[in-house]
Structure formats: C-alpha cells, structure tokens
Structure 1
Amino acid sequence: MRFQVLGSIAANDNLGGPVVLRGPRYREVLARLILARRRVVPVGRLVEDLWDEPPANAVGAIRTFVAGLRRALEPDRPPRTPPRLLVTEGLGYALRAEPDAVDAWRFDDAVRAASTLPAGQAFSLLTEALRWWQGPAYADFADAGWAQAERARLAEQRLLAVERRAEAQLTLGAAAAAVPDLDAHVTEHPWREDAWGLLATALYRSGRQADALAVLARARRMLADDLGIDPGPALRRLEHDLLRQAEHLDPIATDPSVRVWEQARAAYDSTVPPGTGTRLESTAGLMRDLAVTGGGGLAAARAHRISAVVAADQLGDAELTARVIGIYDVPAIWTRSDDPAQAGRLVDIAEKTLLRLPVHDDADRARLLATIAVESRGGLPPDQPTEAGLRPLRAARQAEEIARRLHDPALLAFALNGVFMQSFQRAGMALRRDAVGSEIVAVAATSSSATYEVLGHLILIQTRCALADYPGADQHADAVDALARRYQLPLVEVFTTWYRALRTSATTDLDTAEAAYQAAAVSLVGAGMPGLERGLLPLAELSLYLRHHDTGRIAAIAPDTDWGPYKPWIEPTLLVARGDLDAARTALRNIASPPRDLLFEALWAIVAHAAIAVGDVETMHRARTQLSPAAAETTAQSGLLSVGPVRTYLDDIESAMRRRGTPGS
C-alpha cells in the first residue's frame, strides 16, 4: 500500500491502482494518522483535530471512519481477524505503514541521503524525489490546524531539495541547464538568498557575467524594497568575487568532459525532434547506463525507463516498443523487485508487444522474453504451479534458445540472466545456478560486457556460499570488486560488503558478526534498491541469533522492527522466543510458503525452527518436504546471510518427529 500526501491525499494498492477513500472526513483521518508517522493518535486528539465544536457522537463517528478506512486499505482481510495496517492500540489508532510507503517519508529520506552522496547520485535522487510532489503537502487540509506545522516543514524541505539539486548540477558542470529552474525558484521565493547566489553562479559559469551581476542587483533591490534589509555576507562576497572573476567560481571550466557533454547535448537537442522514436530509444539507452551508477541513478533510471516504454507503446509501433524495452538489458541479481507494480506493468506491455511483433524479428523477440523473465523475479508460484506462474519460466527458456541459435553473446548473457531469475522452482538448485553463473562470466568475456561479467561473479558468490565453499566465494568477491573499481560500478560494493559480513559471521563471535552486518547496512542507504533493503538487516541479525541459539536476543527484538516482506515467516519464531507458544501455533497455522527466491531455504528453516518448538507436525512435514532437495547445501543461497546448514534443520525435524512418535518419521 502506498500513500500520497505531497498534494491531495491518496492511496494506491500494491498493483498501483487507486484506493477509494470515500468522503473528506475519511481522508482527513487517514492524513492525520500518516502525519503521526506510525505513532498512536488518541481518539480524543482526533476529535479535537477534526472538529472545532465536536458533535455529541464524535467518538462514534471516528470509529466509523476508521472502520471504513480498514475496509478500503485491507479489502482481503478475513472477517474477525485483527487489522495489520490501521491498528487499535490503547485508546487510539496508528497507521503501521511501511517506512517507504508514504511519499513524504520517502522524500525526507531522499533529501537526507542526498547530502552524503556524490553530486551525480544526489542530482538523480533529488530529481526523482521532486517529481513526487503533485501539489502543496496535505493540500486537501490547508486550513487544518493539525497540518500547518507539517505543511510548512515539508514546504521548506522541498525548497531545500530544489537548491541542493541545483548545487549538484553546478558541481557536475551543467550550469546552463540549472538556470531556468533557479530563475523560476527565486521569482517564486525571492527571500531565499542562497537561491539568488546559486542563480548568479550558474549564469556566471554559463558565460553570462553581466546577467549574473544583474541578478545580484535584482536581489539587492528586492531585499531592500520588500524587507528593508541589505544582502547577507554570502551574497556580498559573491558579488565581489564575480567582479574580480575569482578562479574558484568556475572550478570545472577546463574539464574537457564537461564541455563535450554540453556540446553533444546541445547538438542532440537541436537535431533530433522531440516526440520521435529515436528520442525514446536514446532515453532507454541512457537509462541503462544510469542504472549502474547507483543511488538516485538507479531509482531515476527505473522511473524514466517505464515512461519511455509507455510512450513507445502509445505510439503503436511494436518494433519500436520492443527496441525501447530490450535496450535496457541491465543485469539483475536480487530476486525481489524494487517496484513490483512497475515491473508488472512492464511485463504486461512486453507480452502485448510480443503478440504484435513480426515473427521474423528473433533478436527483439528474445529481448522481450528475457525482459519478462527478469522482471518477473520472485514470480514463481509458491506451491502448485499455475499457467500464469509458469509463463516467465517458459519465457526464459525461449529467450535462451533464440540467443543460442543466433550465436549472439550479448543477447545470450541477457537471456541467461532471465534463466537465473527463474531458477528457483525448488530448493537445492545451487549447482544449476552455478553453471549459469559460470557461463555468464565466460559469455560476458567474449562480448566485453563488464556488467554481465560482474553479474556472473555475483551469482557464483551466492552458489559458492550455498555449497559452503567460502574460499571459492572469496575469489569471486575479489574478482567482482576489481571489475567494479575498473568500470566504476558502485552498486557492486553493496553485495560484496554484505557477503563479507556473512563471511565474518562464519568465523567470529556474535557481537563482532552483528557489528559487521550493521556496518554493511550503511551501504544500502541511498542505493536505490528497496527490494533488497527492506527488512534485510533485522533478518540478518535474526540469522545470527538462531545460529548462536541466543533466544534472549531474539526475545529482545523491538516489537516495531520493520521486517519488510519477511514478517509472516519471522513472526512465529519471535513469538516462540517470547514464550507465547499459542500465538506461535496460530501464526504457523496454514502459513503460506515463502516466495521461491534467494531466501527460500532460509525462511523455510526459520519456519521449521518455530514449528519444532511448538510441536506443529503438519508444518514440520511441509518444511521437510520443501528443504529436503537442499539437504547438502546451506541456507546461504543469497550470499548475504545464513541460518546454517539445511541438514541441521532436517535432522532437528526428524528428531522432533521421533520424539512425538509421528508415523513415517
């Protein structure tokens, strides 16, 4: 569930569809709970905030609004089961939205992260974050007293983001591109002296010294006429430096790469008309390169990529759409999508384009099929296969077959990425993925594709961990780090840092291992990979506590810990550690199978641990059935964390069943 407060109040479901929120009072209750940032808002406070003169039935009305919101936000919740999103605590209510579920919360995180990132990543991250604004914050409730302080704070944050984005542009040498936005910014917010200084600097670096001085004169007049003050020291120093053409004002004027980029961009803009297929293909190609720069670059690449694909699809040219989709052959290693709704839309367009593509166009067909396989990561059915669930698997195999027939190494590497993403039909397939990773490394070497060579080594780190071959994994980690340094691929460090935390955890004490994971978690900040980041650190820490049999630390885990998508399979073990065995049994009853991905074995092992503790024979049977194919492997399939050898959990299940005298044990 996603919530929007940067503009009108809105909610969207996990597929990106709008949630109907009925009348304004329902939206106001939702907005007030969002503002509380997951904290409890007492009913009395809600009454005070919603009405100047509360009616006699105000408390009953609040309950009605909350009940309506619960039906809208959790439409599939079974009757008489407690809500998990809009919860009752004590005498109030809290919206337990995920940390990245509210656009304003994500915006705060983006502005904070951008201050620590290199200029290129900061620019991309802030550009994407500013697009989330659809109007003034909490626009529906501009006159509400409860919203005023937060509206003012967010408005200030937005102005700060605009100025920090401009600073990044100047650092990157894109001064001319920064001028129009800064000019509009100071016109709308003339009291912001930092913005005037940025505009003057941008003009100066664009070769417009006279205009830069005129801007400062304009600022001086505005401050004197409207506020009765003189410019501050920073603006006065800047004016002095502009007059003497101080060298520090244009530190990158002699950088040839900046001049070449600006000249090429200007030539492209003047030569290639807007709204053409060529522009869409160029955009997709640029986004492919941007995606591997990390941080905001990856997030921006995802957003612009889907925009280009949708635009191509709307033109009705299947071959153009296929090229725009297929050019984005960015390697993918993590099996959970960063944006499932966007990935689903992309797959839908790719499948539709396949039906309209000429039958002879094998290369584009293979790229569409590989895209479907990669973007459908984690989409294999958890239990019984279905027609829809098997389509990505078949797409991966078809893409591989076409690529081999065409003898196209680059296309084969892309297709094999799809094969990897769909290689989780069951547990215990590390050797199969090891073969895929080895072939990707070999194929990438023949096609000089550094990014796919990196992908192959990352897959081999995972498979070597699954097979408990840590020296082998070390070799691949060293190889991939060398490639990342050589080709400036910063996202690679996220995976190797986490692998080395796993490696540390295998040979050190619990406290040292925990510190290694906490240090590794820093690498995820601003990396632009929410599908990897959410819930990963607490899951890694839990894996340590289980391996060290430290029930006390498990019981002490904070109740409001964000487990991300892993909570259903973690909760029974937490309840066991806290001594609430009945609740653990309830949580295990009919528990769904974890997604078939890199954490499949680890999550089933955690479920097995809880089932053994409470004597849940049915769940033990299920866990044994799912884990048995991986009996010779470890739960370190991800290359990031491990709860130990699979055999340990299978043996524990067998022992528990023998103690209970279970038939067939």
Structure 2
Amino acid sequence: MLFLRVLGPIEVEVDGRLVDIGGPVPRRFLAALSTTLGSAVSDEALGELIWGADRPQQVGGTLRVVASRLRSAFGPAARDLLQRGVSGYRLEVPPEWSDSGRFAASVTEGIRALAAGEAARAERLLADGLALWRGEPWPELDHAPALPAERTRLAELRDVAVEELQAARLACGQTAAAVAALSEAVAQAPFRERRWELLALGLYRGGRQAQALAELRRVRELLVEELGVEPGPALRLLEQRMLEHDPGLLTTARPRPPADGAVRAVPQPVSRLLTSFVGRDRELRLLTELLTEQRMVGLVGPAGVGKTRLAVEYCATQEDTVDRWVVRLGDVRRGDAVAMAVASALGLIHHSGDPAAVVRRALAVRPGLDPRLRAVRSRHHLAAGGRRDRGPPMAAQCAGAQRRLRSPLVPGHGRCGGRLVGALPG
C-alpha cells in the first residue's frame, strides 16, 4: 500500500517503508499529482506546476523520465499506481491513502460525532486529524499560482477542526485545557467568532463570568473598529444568556428543541455597517416603489459598487424588520453550505441536523410570515443549482414550507457580476 503525506514536506510510504523520491523535480511532480488524486494532470499543467516559466523545451520527454524514476522508487508493489493516460499522468490512489484525505474524513466524522452528543469520540477524531499536520501543504509548489484555492480549503478545514476540538473538550468537561487552547486560538485568528464564543463559554463554566463578558465586549470592539460590523447572532445570544444567568450554559448537554418539536427562527436585527450611507436616497426610494409591485428586484452592477450595502440598508430602514433577513454568501464556497448560512441568518444556531430541514420547519411554523425581503449576496455557482435558468434547491425547499415565498436565492446574470434581491409584496 502507498501512503502519501502532503500536509508538510511531501513523503511517500510503501508498505510502511519511507521511499526516497529524489530531488526537487520528482518531488514537485509527485506534489502536483497529489493535488488531484485519481484525476489526470496534463503535461502542460505539470510543466507549469513543476518548472513555471523555466520549463524545458521537451516537457513530455522530461516527464516520462521523471515518472520512470518514481515508479522504480515505488517498487513492484506500487509502481502501477503512477499511470499515464490520454489526458496526462495521474496517481491512482483513494483519498484515504493520503494524510489530507484522512484529515478531511476525521474532521467530518468528528463534527458529526459532536452533533450527536458523542463528545469523547469527537475529541479523539479531531485530535487525530490535526496531528497529521506537519507544516503547510505542498511547500514544494509555493511558486504555483493555481494552488492557493486548495491550500485555502485545507486551512479553513483545519481552523474548523481547531475550534470544534475545543468545543468537544468543553463538552467533556475539560474546561481549563479548552480555555488555554482557545486563548491562543483567538490570538492566531482574531476574526473567527466561533473561537471567541467558545472561549467566553469556557470562562463562564470555569466560574469567571466577569472575564467571559469582558471577552465578548473585547471581540465586539475589535469587529466594530477593524471591520465596522457587529458580532454575529451566536455571540449576541451568548452574551444575553450570560446576563440572564441561563443555567443551561453550565451544562454540557446538547440544546434540546422545543417540547412541541417545532423549530422557530430567532428574530435577528439586520447588521448595518457603522460608516455613513449617503448618496443613495434615490435608489432606496426606487427600491421601495418596485418592491410594492414586484416579487423580485435585481441589483446589478460591477463588483464593489454597493449592491449588498443597498440591500442591507433597505432591510434595516424598513419599519417591519422582524421577518427580514440578510444571508451573506460572499465567503461560502460550496453549494451545500448555503443552507447553513440561511439557518444562521434566521438565528437557528442551536439546532442540529440537516440545516435545510431546520429552515423549512422554521418557516412552516411562523403564522402570517411576511417574507417581504430575503437579500442574498450570492455567486453563480452557489445559487444556480447547476443551471442559471432555474432557482436553487434551497429556494424550492423554502417555497414548499411557505407558499408565499418565491425563489429567494437566485443567481445574478450578465457580464457585470450582478447580485439579485428576492422580494415579495405584502
């Protein structure tokens, strides 16, 4: 069996034996193939990843020599895993034969275990996953311009694992250890609100209520001063529960749904930037007029012109803002994460299970719900559901729960990268 380590300097083991894969070129060759395990990489792409602008004149011939040497290093047991096809070279190994694949699987399973109340198992899985990291992924390809996205994905997953590991430790009663780790974690990534939430919770459970509230004030000041935004719903709700001395904060049990089994959205104020909003009175009036007649209004313009800000200001300045939500998808990179973003915007932050199902139930139990505006800052690949001419699955599911809701999540169209605002008349 071949095992590939890419979370740090690249290493290859064959049947438990560390393989000498040679100098910089074969290492870069192998690193390039490991970025897309099981998929072919063309000669042109390999040439760019391995040599950049200094590629040799005969790239194909050079790659054949490098591949032959690597097969010899792998030995008879694994040489056939490095394959050459019509589309290029590929390393035919499953994700679980790499540390990056095992890391992702451990984090996913650990988060599932934590949601199911299996805190000890979650702690073990998340700690095992993080232990696989030996450094930055693929340091051999630091010069490659096409790699940052994959590195960013793994780094984000690692940040999540760090946070949820401490959540598992808090659930196991390891308060002191979690607080110590979280104090370091917030210093390393001060804008990740989940870390502050867990730190404050740990301090509160450790009998340090004043310091817990002080940390919540500190993160609010940081967000307001540096980004001009208020803390998210999770931090606001935690502070409120602390001030009310909610006994549920002292227990490690998972939050329970309401006795009747219903899921209810928590009214969330629309967060506005603290900077002044001037010069858009005409657009606000026009938006108000259009939304009295149309179900949907599109805000279209170049990136950075202020489409999202206009939608937020409209939501925040209306008298009936209870049933208005702004779902921010600017940092969401996967379609399956849209439902979680919608659930968070509705304040459904203490419910486990399928986020889409939670949102549907929350919408279904709100009598007289007036979904006048759902403002969504989206990207084509998130909202289109595979096609630009039909609404995404999340919109269809919400519409099934509330008949008056009509496709709140729809893609922008046109070359200018527009964002659309979904709306309904009262």
Q: TM-score range by the shorter chain?
A: 0.5 to 0.7
Whether the 8 Å CA contact 2:32–2:141 is kept in 1: the answer is: no
Task: Note the aligned Cα RMSD (angstroms).
Answer: 1.9
Give the aligned partner of residue 232 of structure 1.
Answer: 232
Give the aligned partner of residue 180 of structure 1.
Answer: 180
Q: What is the SS of the residue equivalent to 1:52? A: helix
**1:92-146 deviations in whole A, cap 9, x for unaligned?**
1111124421000001111111222221111111111111101122233233223
1:93 aligns with 2:89: yes
Note the residue ranges of structure 2 that are not aligned, 5 or more in a row. Answer: 254-426
1:136 and 1:83 mapped to 2: Cα distance? 27
2:40 and 2:221 mapped to 1: Cα distance? 49
Give the aligned partner of residue 104 of structure 2.
Answer: 108
Give the aligned partner of residue 301 of structure 2.
Answer: none
Structure-to-structure mapping, 1:466-545, within 5 angstroms = none
Judging changes above 3 Å, is the alpha-carbon distance between structure 1 residues 203 and 125 closer, same or farther for their aligned structure 2 residues? Answer: same
Structure-to-structure mapping, 1:76-91, within 5 angstroms = 76=76, 83-91=79-87
**Superposed displacement of residue 193, structure 1:** 0.5
**Superposed displacement of residue 252, structure 1:** 4.1
Q: What letter corresponds to residue 50 of structure 1 in structure 2?
A: I
Whether the 8 Å CA contact 2:82–2:91 is kept in 1: the answer is: yes
1:142 and 1:43 mapped to 2: Cα distance? 19
Structure-to-structure mapping, 1:157-176, within 5 angstroms = 157-176=157-176
1:218 and 1:140 mapped to 2: Cα distance? 39
1:32 aligns with 2:32: yes
Greater Rg over alpha carbons, structure: 1
Structure-to-structure mapping, 1:159-308, within 5 angstroms = 159-252=159-252
Give the aligned partner of residue 396 of structure 2.
Answer: none
Give the aligned partner of residue 119 of structure 2.
Answer: 119
Judging changes above 3 Å, is the alpha-carbon distance between structure 1 residues 164 and 252 closer, same or farther for their aligned structure 2 residues? Answer: closer
Q: What is the SS of the residue equivalent to 1:166? A: helix
Q: What letter corresponds to residue 51 of structure 1 in structure 2?
A: W
Give the aligned partner of residue 7 of structure 1.
Answer: 8
**1:565-619 deviations in whole A, cap 9, x for unaligned?**
xxxxxxxxxxxxxxxxxxxxxxxxxxxxxxxxxxxxxxxxxxxxxxxxxxxxxxx
Q: What is the SS of the residue equivalent to 1:145? A: coil
Does 234-243 or 156-165 show the bigger shift? 234-243
Q: What is the SS of the residue equivalent to 1:48? A: helix
1:182 and 1:142 mapped to 2: Cα distance? 30
1:213 and 1:26 mapped to 2: Cα distance? 54
Structure 1 stretches of 4+ moved >6 Å: none
Give the aligned partner of residue 19 of structure 1.
Answer: 19
Give the % identical residues: 38
Give the aligned partner of residue 52 of structure 2.
Answer: 52
Q: What letter corresponds to residue 86 of structure 1 in structure 2?
A: L
Give the aligned partner of residue 133 of structure 1.
Answer: 133
Judging changes above 3 Å, is the alpha-carbon distance between structure 1 residues 146 and 69 closer, same or farther for their aligned structure 2 residues? Answer: farther
Structure-to-structure mapping, 1:414-425, within 5 angstroms = none
1:29 and 1:230 mapped to 2: Cα distance? 46
2:143 and 2:157 mapped to 1: Cα distance? 20
1:22 and 1:140 mapped to 2: Cα distance? 13
Which of the two has greater strand per residue?
2
Q: What is the SS of the residue equivalent to 1:12? A: strand
Whether the 8 Å CA contact 2:213–2:239 is kept in 1: the answer is: yes
1:177 and 1:44 mapped to 2: Cα distance? 49
1:142 and 1:221 mapped to 2: Cα distance? 36
Q: What letter corresponds to residue 36 of structure 2 in structure 1?
A: A
Q: What is the SS of the residue equivalent to 1:51? A: helix
Whether the 8 Å CA contact 2:104–2:129 is kept in 1: the answer is: no
2:139 and 2:52 mapped to 1: Cα distance? 19
Structure-to-structure mapping, 1:427-466, within 5 angstroms = none
**1:383-407 deviations in whole A, cap 9, x for unaligned?**
xxxxxxxxxxxxxxxxxxxxxxxxx
Q: What letter corresponds to residue 186 of structure 1 in structure 2?
A: V
Q: What letter corresponds to residue 24 of structure 1 in structure 2?
A: P
**Superposed displacement of residue 227, structure 1:** 1.9
Q: What letter corresponds to residue 211 of structure 2 in structure 1?
A: D
2:97 and 2:180 mapped to 1: Cα distance? 32
TM-score by structure 1 length?
A: 0.36
Aligned length: 247
Give the aligned partner of residue 71 of structure 2.
Answer: 70
1:239 and 1:143 mapped to 2: Cα distance? 45
Q: What is the SS of the residue equivalent to 2:234? A: helix
2:191 and 2:144 mapped to 1: Cα distance? 26
Give the aligned partner of residue 256 of structure 1.
Answer: none
1:252 and 1:151 mapped to 2: Cα distance? 34
Q: What is the SS of the residue equivalent to 2:80? A: coil
1:150 and 1:252 mapped to 2: Cα distance? 35
Note the residue ranges of structure 1 that are not aligned, 5 or more in a row. Answer: 254-665
Q: What letter corresponds to residue 61 of structure 1 in structure 2?
A: T
Give the aligned partner of residue 304 of structure 1.
Answer: none
2:143 and 2:202 mapped to 1: Cα distance? 37
Whether the 8 Å CA contact 2:72–2:79 is kept in 1: the answer is: no
1:203 and 1:50 mapped to 2: Cα distance? 49
Q: What letter corresponds to residue 66 of structure 1 in structure 2?
A: A
Judging changes above 3 Å, is the alpha-carbon distance between structure 1 residues 59 and 113 closer, same or farther for their aligned structure 2 residues? Answer: same
1:252 and 1:50 mapped to 2: Cα distance? 50
Q: What is the SS of the residue equivalent to 2:96? A: coil
2:207 and 2:89 mapped to 1: Cα distance? 58
2:217 and 2:25 mapped to 1: Cα distance? 49
Give the aligned partner of residue 309 of structure 2.
Answer: none
Q: What is the SS of the residue equivalent to 1:116? A: helix
1:102 and 1:2 mapped to 2: Cα distance? 6
Q: What is the SS of the residue equivalent to 2:66? A: helix
Give the aligned partner of residue 155 of structure 1.
Answer: 155
Whether the 8 Å CA contact 2:48–2:144 is kept in 1: the answer is: no
Judging changes above 3 Å, is the alpha-carbon distance between structure 1 residues 231 and 20 closer, same or farther for their aligned structure 2 residues? Answer: same
